[in-house]
């Protein structure tokens, strides 16, 4: 790992995600490409991508999407992305494999005025890795969401992870993005964040339900005691 280069990309800033400086790039999350994913269950991948879209909306983070030849076998973008991030901007490409090679895509990123990129893409070794490495070269801080990408083998995932880290990209998982962007539970929309987490951790929904039931029981007991 080329640690000095990784640190240099942050220019002395804390190596964490600042939601006020972040842009989320969701690249090539297409129904056809999802069928090639073998390093994780497709349902988990889809849930993680959906969670990122929800979190971007909650945190008011700009979202830019794009697709690789969506009229061909790669298929259309999964609908959850624009459903849960209705503010997302879609940028059409003209066949470029690396989204960063498309001038309109790069212009859309620059237009946000933000310098921290949260990137996820299918396939990991191509659609996520190529633009992530390119963006680091252009001076952006890049966080790659590995479990919201997906590729055709565990080996491909591990090789790609080693490559992007050497290039200065910071790997992270979906839950890490959620927590780092959320910052605190002491906020009015805390329940909405908890609901977003439940897609990544289905058991967390059970935790929420059990807590809500316990609170309901406690309130009922207090009401009965005060009535006596």
Distance CA 57, CA 87 (A): 8
| Residue 178 is a catalytic residue | no
Beta bridge partners of 24: 63, 118
Distance CA 95, CA 166 (A): 27
Distance CA 29, CA 51 (A): 13
Q: Which of 98, 82, 157, 168 is nearest to 125 (CA)?
A: 157
- For residue 124, the 8-state DSSP code is I
Beta bridge partners of 25: 64, 119
Q: Which of 103, 159, 162, 168 is nearest to 132 (CA)?
A: 168
**Catalytic: which of 23, 127, 170, 200?**
127
Distance CA 192, CA 204 (A): 13
Return the active site residues: 127
């Amino acid at each position: 790992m080329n640690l000095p280069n990784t640190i240099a990309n942050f220019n002395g800033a804390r190596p964490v995600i600042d939601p006020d400086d972040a842009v989320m790039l969701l690249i090539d999350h297409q129904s056809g490409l999802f069928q090639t994913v073998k390093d994780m269950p497709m349902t988990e991948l889809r849930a993680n991508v959906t969670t990122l879209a929800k979190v971007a909306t909650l945190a008011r983070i700009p979202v830019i999407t794009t697709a690789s030849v969506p009229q061909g076998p790669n298929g259309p973008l999964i609908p959850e992305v624009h459903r849960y991030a209705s503010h997302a901007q879609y940028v059409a490409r003209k066949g470029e494999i690396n989204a960063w090679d498309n001038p309109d895509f790069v212009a859309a990123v620059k237009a946000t005025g933000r310098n921290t990129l949260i990137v996820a893409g299918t396939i990991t070794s191509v659609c996520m890795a190529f633009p992530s490495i390119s963006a680091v070269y252009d001076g952006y801080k890049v966080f790659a969401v590995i479990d919201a990408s997906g590729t055709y083998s565990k080996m491909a995932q591990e090789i790609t992870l080693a490559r992007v880290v050497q290039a200065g990209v910071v790997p992270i998982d979906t839950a890490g993005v959620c927590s780092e962007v959320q910052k605190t539970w002491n906020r009015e929309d805390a329940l909405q964040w908890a609901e977003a987490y439940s897609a990544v951790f289905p058991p967390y929904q059970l935790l929420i339900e059990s807590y809500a039931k316990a609170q309901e029981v406690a309130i009922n007991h207090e009401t009965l005691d005060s009535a006596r």
